[in-house]
Structure 1
């Protein structure tokens, strides 16, 4: 093959076999298994057999954090070593797009569960349509209204208001999208100081959001009687906001890593997909929160 012909072909880097996918799969399994067992214990539905669930959850979380650290470390080394080509860049972009698409489907399933409970199950329990006998046999005193603050067992709870901590957290996330956009434009223009400062600010806003959400959960459990065991309202509330909080945690870790890499001079205006991937993920998390704020807190 002539030199001219070779120059037509673009190099393509094939990474070595990696242990991190299987390590991550094990960590996710332990995370889900331990978390489910811990929830079983905290709801008090099946006794205290799940008292060891939190230990398995922590082991799974530790494995996930170790996997993320190691995988990102390897990827950064490969990128800084000049091993990647534009073909590899396109592969990363396609992979990130498909990952965010899967996350959209993930949250769509949970929002679908919320809408099903509110628009179909509640009216059925109230005797709507041909379900008068269902209403009479299962819960004659039930009046269909959302949020459902009374369980069939007679336990009552308090609905979480929208215009307190949730509204503040909404403002924080909207602000964080703005600061991250400023940082991205600064990166494109080669303004390193603005890039570093606004990326750090965005990460700090993520930490503040998580702290306020933790305080919201504390208030819900200790002063409002709103728990995972508070009927369908409590379970959907913590399921949606909890999974979103997990994604904010991942995104905040992502932003902290990006802040360190920005300070280390890893990104250039013409080569910074890792930063773009973090920005895509963070904006996605912000959009999900807007839907949560509207459909879980306001409506």
Structure 2
């Protein structure tokens, strides 16, 4: 349903009744239910997780295909474009809050929890505890009852630095692709988009190799005290976001090859670019606060 007041482009667009939101919510329900049951030892939870994920992804595929068809048929005007921009902005803001919680946990642990445990008031809680970061550092005492296995910390060289170069380069290639699209150079846009996707894949490959090195050579795990838990929660969730962003850029590249987007109308491209640049910024924070400090 739409109302046309400016030429052939609808001033606003109101979609008809759709079952997609209910279908997506149902899929996510079974994903969460299955994950919770599987973690607690119920094997049927794995099947619930799998079926829910398949249903959710299938719904998203059909839903996005419908939205793309509506966009390419000219049903989306300025108002819809504006609503998409606001929606993506609020989504990225929610992601800022998501990562902000983990960064705050890291900051609180190092600046408040650690000194508090090292004070005389908590001597009975952990005798001879020394307030150093990480808790396995030289001069620190072992954990009570050896709960945390000895491990080595990880520095910025060289794998994290290589990944930093890869992500920053991908941000540059994506920006070049955007300028090429706005200038009407589709072939150049596609080339630099494929290069951006490749850099994202390389980042994930390097991070996977780093995780293997940490587990096998440094004995650094999610269970390695506050250091291990904050390290893997921050880098792991960031890696997940890189994977999602890489898929977004891949789909945008495939759409470009099909002739979608114009120099004037390409918010799908811009939304994915916003998300990717956000992932870049988060990594810079990780690189400084987790690997360097």
Match of 1:244? Answer: 238
- Specify whether residues 277 and 214 from structure 1 end up closer, same or farther in structure 2 by C-alpha distance, changes over 3 A only: same
1:126 to 97, 102, 118: 118
> Aligned in 2, Cα 1:240/1:23: closer, same or farther, shift over 3 Å?
farther
Matched, 1:112 2:104: yes
Tell me which residue corresponds to 2:69. 77
Deviations 1:46-104 (A, max 9, x none): xxx37776655544543443343222211111111111111111111111111111111
Q: Give 1:172 shift.
A: 0.5
- 2:285, 2:183 → 1: CA distance? 33
Q: 1:259 aligns with which of 241, 253, 260?
A: 253
2:139 counterpart residue number: none
Question: Cα distance 1:169–1:67, how it changes in 2: closer, same or farther (>3 A)?
Answer: farther
Determine helix, strand or coil for the equivalent of 2:260: coil
User: Is the 1:151–1:230 contact (alpha carbons within 8 Å) kept by the matching residues of 2?
Assistant: no
Q: CA deviation at 1:28?
A: 4.2
Please name the residue that 2:16 is paired with: 16
What does 1:19-38 align with in structure 2 at a 5 Å threshold? Answer: 19-31=19-31
Residue 139, structure 1, aligned to residue 131, structure 2 = no
Partner residue of 1:44?
none
Q: TM-score, length-normalised on structure 2?
A: 0.87
5 Å-filtered alignment, 1:1-299, equals 11-31=11-31, 49=41, 57-127=49-119, 132-134=120-122, 136-149=123-136, 151-154=143-146, 155-299=149-293
Report the TM-score, using the length of structure 1 for normalisation: 0.86
Sort the Cα spacing of 1:223 and 1:169 in 2 relative to 1 into closer, same or farther, 3 A: same
Please state whether the residue corresponding to 2:221 is helix, strand or coil: coil
- Contact kept, 8 Å, 1:255 with 1:278, in 2: the verdict is yes
Residues 169/61 of structure 1: CA separation in 2 closer, same or farther (3 Å cut): farther
Pair 1:265–1:211, CA change in 2 (3 A): same
CA contact (8 A) 2:117 2:129 kept: yes
Q: What is the Cα-based RMSD across aligned positions, in Å?
A: 2.4
Q: Which runs of 5+ in 1 are unaligned?
A: 42-48
Q: In 2 relative to 1, CA 173–29 (structure 1 residues): closer, same or farther, beyond 3 Å?
A: farther
Paired residue total = 282
**Partner-residue secondary structure (3-state), 2:187:** helix
Shifted more, 260-269 versus 210-219: the winner is: 210-219
**Which fold has the larger relative contact order, with Cα–Cα distance below 8 Å and residues 6 or more apart in sequence?**
1
Cα distance change of structure 1 residues 98 and 209 upon mapping to structure 2, 3 Å threshold:
same
Indicate the SS of the match to 2:144. coil
Query: Does structure 1 conserve the Cα–Cα contact (< 8 Å) formed by 2:5 and 2:11?
Result: no
Residues 239 and 7 (structure 1), Cα distance of their counterparts in 2 relative to 1, 3 Å cut: closer
